[in-house]
Chains A and B, each alone.
Chain A
Amino acid sequence: MSDLTAEGGKNTPSSPPLAGSGPAPGRGRRDWPLYEVFVRGKRGLNHVHVGSLHAPDDEMAVHAARDVYTRRNEGVSIWVVKAADITASSPDEKDPMFAPNGDKVYRHPTFYEIPENVPHM
């Protein structure tokens, strides 16, 4: 698995290797991929990440996501995606990828001083 998984997964960058334990049963749930789950709360909203689960395939992942994450009308649409297929911006939330935004204050409306008496602005 790539180390560019999304929220979770076995290979978060700073995680030390974890010792496995117990007997590894044959071809069971242990081999199921990790899926990240996104739910659209209602029409007009974006899908939002809500958590993860393991499932044998995409279809089962949607069914399981429905049971685990939408028992009370929490959503009108579900996306599931294998965590291994998500490419994240950086191994670390404070990566300098976002740093250049800081010195481009002119991208924000508050950068511009407009007299109070200009209407509708």
Chain B
Amino acid sequence: MTAAALDDVDLQAYFDATIAAGHRIEPRDWMPDGYRFGLIRQIAQHAHSEIIGMQPEGDWLLAAPSLRRKAILLAKVQDEAGHGMYLYSAAETLGADRADLTDKLIERRQKYSSIFNYPSLTYADVGVIGWLVDGAAICNQVPLCRSSYGPYARAMIRVCKEESFHQRQGYELLMTMMGGTDAQRAMVQDAVDRWWWPSLMMFGPPDDDSPNSAQSMAWGIKRHSNDELRQRYVDMSVPQAEFLGVTLPDPELSLDPETGHYRFGAIDWAEFQRVIGGHGPCNDERIARRRAARDDNAWVTEAATAYAEKYS
């Protein structure tokens, strides 16, 4: 019996059995439309976040305090571009089109992480983004290395290898500043105050308000709930903050001796909805710059196309 002769019921059963056995789904396998489109949405949103995520730190490339810091930041921002490329590549295995996904981002028909709609006001923000924002991204991404969709899982393995450099360079930058002047320490604390809460929002809405989660978990394209990952992140970050000598801006933060986990205060979900809905401090600026990158550089791609047509 050939694959073509199998009816949809058999295909669905085979798909379900593959997922249940913990095996990977590969691009040429049959898959339910919901799985395909859910994945495209998730991977595209992830890719867009990497691409837009270059901007807050990219703003400091020309103002880095030393050649060493500039080289590090340049490498980090370039990695984020690479992450976006790995992910668009994975989305294309599902039948999506890269240029089309970029258009959807620019037309605001697809989302990206809310965190990148906040401004980076000082150089300490570069360190705090590396420590907290990349740290949160690592918490989110490590479980995705076991995603049921092969190309996504493989892309995430590459991404995670590179993320640990991102987080460590940020933390090291902050340790350096904390060992500096009072003004530098104040700068770090100010950046922590601004980024802590938005970084908690990176894990998405609370579990009882996360409509797609159950299906995504069943399909193995999501491995842990939003709240579970958020808790893991808080537990990891608190001792790091203590070592650094900064205060996380949450008076309710305390270790629960019974569970061994840190309790934390209420997250402002109204702010999250506002930012994700397009009304954060930098949404317009981020999209405008991405649009300009597409449109202003179009002549480069057109020239390359013309050259290829002439000589190949």
Q: Which residues of A contact B (CB under 8 A)?
A: 7-16, 18, 20-22, 25-32, 34, 50-54, 56-58, 60, 67-69, 71-72, 88, 90-96
Contacts and interface: CB of A to CB of B under 8 A. Distances in A.
A58 B29 contact: no
Interface stretch (B89-97, B197-205, B261-269): B89-97
A18 B3 contact: no
Contacts of B92: 8-10, 34, 52
A31 B306 CA distance: 11
Interface string B144-183: 0000000100110010001000000000000000000000
A52 B92 CA distance: 9
Nearest to B90: A51
A92 B28 contact: yes
A21 B96 CA distance: 11
Contacts of A95: 2-3
Contact of B85 (A15, A30, A68): A68
Given A8-B27, A8-B89, A92-B28, A27 B95 contact: no
B27 to A, nearest CB: 5
6 contacts: A8-B27, A10-B97, A34-B92, A57-B308, A90-B28, A93-B26
Contacts of A21: 100, 103-104, 107, 109
A56 B100 contact: no
Interface stretch (B30-38, B58-66, B119-127): B30-38
B103 A28 contact: no
Best-buried of A12, A30, A31, A67 by chain B (most CB within 10 Å): A12
Contacts of B155: 51
A12 B302 contact: no
Best-buried of B33, B86, B95 by chain A (most CB within 10 Å): B95
Contacts of A32: 301, 305
B259 interface: no
Best-buried of A11, A51, A68, A95 by chain B (most CB within 10 Å): A51
A31 B82 contact: no
Given A9-B93, A60-B304, A93-B29, 14 more contacts: A8-B89, A12-B93, A20-B97, A21-B100, A21-B103, A21-B104, A28-B99, A29-B99, A29-B305, A30-B99, A32-B305, A71-B79, A92-B30, A93-B26
Contacts of B107: 21-22
